[in-house]
Amino acid sequence: MRRSILMMVGGVLLAGSFMGQVMAKPSAATIAARQKIFGIENVDARSGKVRDDRLVFSWLTNATFAAAMKGHVVLLDSYITRLEIMPGRTPIVIQDLLDLKPEVIFLGHGHFDHADNAAYIAQETGAVIYATPETCDNMAIDATNNFNNGYTLVKTVTCKTLTTRGSLPGAEIVAVHEFEPDVRISVFKHLHSTNTGVTDPDAVPIAATVAGVCTPTASKGNTFPCNLQDPRDPLLFPPGTPLEPGVLNIATSRQGPGGPIALFYVFTVNGEHKFKFVWHNSTGDIIDSCALPNNIAGTNPPVPAEPPQDIHGCFPGVTVNGQTVGANLASIMDSLAPVDVELGSVVSLGYNQNGERDVVSYIGHVKPRYFIPNHLTAVAAEGSSLEWKDGFYEALNAANVPAAARPIVLWLVDPNDYLRPLVFDLNQKSDFDGDR
């Protein structure tokens, strides 16, 4: 039986409606896919509509979620770890994502472990992609590649650009009007995670692994967690039949500078009570104003693709609204607080340097009532989720975050929590009082 958690933000679940998005008569496959991903209890068996009195998140691997907001079905990222044509560890196949019929695909940034599959899904379903101009460049390349590879595709790709090409992180906040008045959406550039910032002596790093072996060490009374897959994992979860190579290659092009240009999304779902959640699939170093370097491929010495970012990915001496790049981003996040839910990446490329310090810094600014982690199956080794959970709490402790200021953590463990709906009732007043 499907395990479903209703995260009721105060009160009792009310009888709901399915008065969500207008859609053509759905196929049986679409109804089945939506029930598989969002839960039978949340999808009308005749119309395929998702209840509009609930906000539903369903984790599909890594930083990718399917979400239903006031009945509107979207994808947050499109990458699936071990995307297969016959399920193995991952119970999702590409046909599930096509049958889901998402209206929109929001991409956090253009790296393969976030943007893979997006152009193909858009071509097959007509879903609109929202991304940076640079990532949209890659979507156009992907669409051409798909045609050139001989796949039968029914639509071209519509990729709508967010933010201005070459703009500084935090310099602009862009509104997306796709679902208004049901859902208000705003977006701004932030910083991709990096290991190029300043090492924080008070941070608790996550130990590296060498040849699959991790020997934890201790510092300041803390044991460093390890980014290490349990050796029993492959036996418990053998692979299924892979989608690629040989069957279908719908990976994102590695060309161009769009990969590490990261977006931070803010969604306000209108109902009896407004429900605000944020999603970011990378967590950058706003303390030091540093992001993953974005240098032009093949240049020696390196040449930044987006000056004034330097070759190390930092913004030395650069100001936005009279503040450093990182401080300005922190101010924007402060203006959002408190939020009901943060879907936030717990993986920083600087995990050997500063552990999950940057994750805690984002939480400190947006002040979520509930925190749901992501980016748990790429960079983070499959099966290592509980080690990252250990690192998360070590980072909270190292930052001396008091219990009253900590969010309720809804941790996700792969593959147990794939397709486990996290459901919030939009008609109940939150017990989040906004005073923390």
Q: Give yes or no for residue 317 having a pLDDT over 80.
A: yes
Number of independent structural domains in the chain: 1
pLDDT score for 430: 55
Q: What is the pLDDT of residues 364-373, one digit of tens each?
A: 999 999 999 9
Question: Nearest 5 degrees, angle CA 362-CA 366-CA 369?
Answer: 110
Amino acid at 153: L
Average pLDDT over residues 381-404: 93
Average pLDDT over residues 93-113: 96
- Report yes or no on 434 lying in a domain: no
- Report yes or no on 436 lying in a domain: no
**Share above pLDDT 90 across residues of the chain, in percent, rounded to a whole number:** 67
Question: 234: pLDDT confidence band, cut at 50, 70 and 90?
Answer: confident
Q: Give yes or no for residue 433 having a pLDDT over 70.
A: no
Q: What is the pLDDT of residues 144-201, one digit of tens each?
A: 888 777 676 667 899 999 999 999 999 999 999 999 999 999 999 999 999 998 899 8
Tracing tokens 């193909």 back to the chain, one arrives at 120
pLDDT score for 9: 32
Q: What tokens appear for 383 in the block?
A: 């099966």
For residue 264, CA distances in Å to 172, 189, 282, 303, 425 come to: 12, 6, 9, 26, 24
- Report yes or no on 380 lying in a domain: yes
- Report yes or no on 430 lying in a domain: no
The listed range with the strongest mean pLDDT (268-277, 294-303, 321-330, 348-357) is 321-330
Average pLDDT over residues 290-296: 95
Spacing of C-alpha 287 from chain mean position: 21
Average pLDDT over residues 28-44: 97
- Report yes or no on 319 lying in a domain: yes
Q: Are 30 and 100 in contact (CB under 8 A)?
A: yes
Q: Give yes or no for residue 238 having a pLDDT over 90.
A: no
Question: 273: pLDDT confidence band, cut at 50, 70 and 90?
Answer: confident
Task: Give the range of the structural domain holding residue 224, as residue numbers without chain letter.
Answer: 5-425
Please state the three-class secondary structure of 94-141 as a single string: HHHHHHHCCCEEECCCCCHHHHCCHHHHHHHHCCEEEECHHHHHHHHH
pLDDT score for 4: 33
d(CA 282, CA 295): 18
Q: Give yes or no for residue 56 having a pLDDT over 60.
A: yes
Q: What is the mean pLDDT of the chain?
A: 88
pLDDT score for 303: 96
pLDDT score for 45: 96
- Report yes or no on 96 lying in a domain: yes
3-state secondary structure of 35: helix
- Report yes or no on 417 lying in a domain: yes
pLDDT score for 247: 67
Average pLDDT over residues 265-280: 93
pLDDT score for 321: 97
Q: What is the pLDDT of residues 239-256, one digit of tens each?
A: 788 776 666 788 898 888
pLDDT score for 16: 37
CATH number at residue 23: 3.60.15.10
- Report yes or no on 435 lying in a domain: no
Reference 346, options 401, 403, 410, 288; nearest CA is 410
